[in-house]
């Protein structure tokens, strides 16, 4: 897997006097599942935000498929094939499960605003295609029976799956998963691991921020370790487990 899909080069991001991300570089190869780990405040989510275009870096650049996308707006980044989930599930609570997933198809629609306003036949066809594709994704994730349920009525674990389905509806090349196991029980986490592995089998590269080390070690090809905004080390999971600096951080010798 030497085909680099995403590259972050010497990224810096400051918030006032806090250097949240400091000179961080990484490469994500096509077809990989790569994890980013570190204690609270290590800069993991900030790094995700820099990649996804939620915030711009103060220094450095982000390269996707050989194209510089530094500080692009999130919708433009999504249009290139980068989708994202969040630490806290962000569904439209008053919409159905199916409608939430259909929203994810927006970056792939072809009919413009005017065609939609005029209710032209091509928008009807596209709406049917969007609905069919969204239902297919729900079936794949075992959610088809819940398509008509209102999102606000879903239990937490099922809501997390709907967010995954919505992200997949964008037809991503790269999927950014921000603490996907947060709030899940052990059985849901096991199912999540299997889901992420299936997503990779679909040809989707995954970059995962996660605290659950058992999940990280099970699914990851490579692991990047951050601490206090800096990259400490990177490598395959077994090597990371034995790295003295990683052991120091996770055994509580790290100064908060």
Is residue 132 in some structural domain? Answer: no
CA distance 81 to 205: 11
Task: Please state the pTM of the whole predicted model.
Answer: 0.87
* Residue 130: inside a domain: no
**Ramachandran angles phi, psi of 244, nearest 5°:** -60, -35
CATH of the domain at 242: 3.40.50.300
Residue 242 has pLDDT above 50, yes or no: yes
Asked if residue 224 lies in contact with residue 36, where contact means CB atoms within 8 angstroms, the answer is yes
Q: How many domains does the chain have?
A: 1
Please, are residues 69 and 77 in contact by the beta-carbon 8 Å criterion?
yes
Task: Report yes or no on 54 lying in a domain.
Answer: yes
pLDDT digits (tens, 9 = 90+) for 145-200: 999 999 999 999 999 999 999 999 999 999 999 999 998 999 999 999 999 999 99
| Share above pLDDT 90 across residues of the chain, in percent, rounded to a whole number | 75
Residue 99 belongs to a domain:
no
Residue 247 within a domain: yes
């Amino acid at each position: 897997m030497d085909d680099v899909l995403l590259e972050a080069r010497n990224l810096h991001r400051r918030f006032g006097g806090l250097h949240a991300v400091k000179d961080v570089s990484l490469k994500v190869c096509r077809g990989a599942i790569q994890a980013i780990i570190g204690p609270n405040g290590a800069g993991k989510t900030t790094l995700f935000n820099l990649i996804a275009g939620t915030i711009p870096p103060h220094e450095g650049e982000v390269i996707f498929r050989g194209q510089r996308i530094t500080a692009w707006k999130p919708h433009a980044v999504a249009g290139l094939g980068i989708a994202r989930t969040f630490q806290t599930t962000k569904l439209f609570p008053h919409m159905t499960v199916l409608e939430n997933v259909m929203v994810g198809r927006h970056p792939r629609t072809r009919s413009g605003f005017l065609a939609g306003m005029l209710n032209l036949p091509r928008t009807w066809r596209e709406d049917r295609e969007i609905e069919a594709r969204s239902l297919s994704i729900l079936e794949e994730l075992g959610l088809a029976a819940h398509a008509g349920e209102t999102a606000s009525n879903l239990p937490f674990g099922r809501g997390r799956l709907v967010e995954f389905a919505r992200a997949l509806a964008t037809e991503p090349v790269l999927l950014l998963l921000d603490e996907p196991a947060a709030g899940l029980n052990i059985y849901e986490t096991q199912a999540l691991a299997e889901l992420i592995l299936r997503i990779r089998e679909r040809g989707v590269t995954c970059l995962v921020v996660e605290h659950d080390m058992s999940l990280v070690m099970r699914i990851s090809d490579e692991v990047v370790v951050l601490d206090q905004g800096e990259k400490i080390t990177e490598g395959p999971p077994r090597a990371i487990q034995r790295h003295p600096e990683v052991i120091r951080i996770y055994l509580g010798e790290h100064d908060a």
